[in-house]
Amino acid sequence: VIVCNTIESFREARQHLGPLAFVPTMGALHAGHMSLVKIAQSHAPTVAVSIFVNPTQFGPKEDFSRYPRPVEADLALCEAAGVQLVFHPDLDQMYPADAARLQSDLPALTRTLEGASRPTHFQGVIEVVTKLFNIVQPQTACFGEKDFQQLAVIRAMTRAMNMPVEIVACPTLRDPDGLAMSSRNRYLSPDERLRALCISRALFEVQKRAAADRNVASLDSILRERLDDPSSDVPFVLDYAVIVDASTLAPIDRIDRPARALVAAKVGSTRLIDNVALGD
């Protein structure tokens, strides 16, 4: 694997290569990321991965400084998976101190759900993914469905700005007990991990019921009921548990179109998100 720490060296390496599929990451790679790499490999002969913990998508009270950065292990995983190019820039490459910042937004998609409690998060994601697309010049880019709102925002961004990049949605990878894989799972204590399992269990139950019951109010109450566990003393603070239209992320009353059930909760001090598809 060729590892480039500067935009110039990446561009130099990239210019000799043809169509490229891209997996943007913040590192701390796990099997979920590697499944994105595998999907990327089925889309283009060359795959590039970026590893960059992007400060602009973290709020002031979020975990930017403690976000895991196991770079050697990440590079070994990329090498073993047959990734050809890794872009691993430092902060100054991506955000030079003397460069003005161009910030854009897609208010129809970024104000709700994650955006309600993380008001500048998606502007940061839009900013860094635009930069990465301009540097990497991919034909295809793979994003996990676990960050479902991010996927919707990126799709809308490429469409709104006519970016010539095909966005591929990749299914969420789960541990055998159902917990959605996430770099943040490593923060969970064994008790917190056990409590966190109610998130995927609640979502799967609602997914199963939605096959027969199309009424969102009743599915909503099942979702909330299953997330509650009065017998546990692990701090669990629900941020949202909603059922929305899968493309607009707007609330719906009936499952009469592709829909999504999404949950975000803080388990101990770790914020987790997960979601499942409902309807056809």
Q: What residues act catalytically?
A: 33
Q: Of the two residues 109 and 129, which places its CB atom closer to ligand PAF in the complex?
A: 129
Q: Of the two residues 52 and 236, which places its CB atom closer to ligand PAF in the complex?
A: 52
- Min separation Cβ 114 and ligand PAF, Å: 11
Q: Of the two residues 41 and 150, which places its CB atom closer to ligand PAF in the complex?
A: 150
- Min separation Cβ 183 and ligand PAF, Å: 8
Residues 6+ apart with CB under 8 A from 169: 143, 144, 145, 151
Residues 164/139, Cβ–Cβ less than 8 Å: yes
Q: Which residues pair with 275 in a beta bridge?
A: 262
Residues 143/169, Cβ–Cβ less than 8 Å: yes
Residues making contact with ligand PAF (CB under 6 A)? 24-26, 54, 57, 125, 128-129, 147, 150
- Min separation Cβ 58 and ligand PAF, Å: 10
- Min separation Cβ 171 and ligand PAF, Å: 15
Q: CB-side exposure of 42: number of CA atoms within 13 Å?
A: 8
Distance CA 143, CA 170 (A): 6
CA angle 248/36/279 to nearest 5° reads 35
Give the CA-trace dihedral at 54, 58, 63, 69, to 10 degrees.
Answer: -10
CA angle 197/31/25 to nearest 5° reads 105
Q: Of the two residues 128 and 262, which places its CB atom closer to ligand PAF in the complex?
A: 128
- Min separation Cβ 20 and ligand PAF, Å: 16
- Min separation Cβ 209 and ligand PAF, Å: 30
Residues 6+ apart with CB under 8 A from 157: 104, 106, 126, 129, 130, 163
Give the CA-trace dihedral at 265, 268, 269, 275, to 10 degrees.
Answer: -20
Q: Of the two residues 146 and 226, which places its CB atom closer to ligand PAF in the complex?
A: 146
3-state SS record for 69-86: CCHHHHHHHHHHHCCCEE
List b or e across 37-74, with b for residues whose CB sees 16 or more CB atoms inside 10 angstroms. Answer: bebbbebbebbbbbbbbbebbbeeeeeeeebbeeeeeb
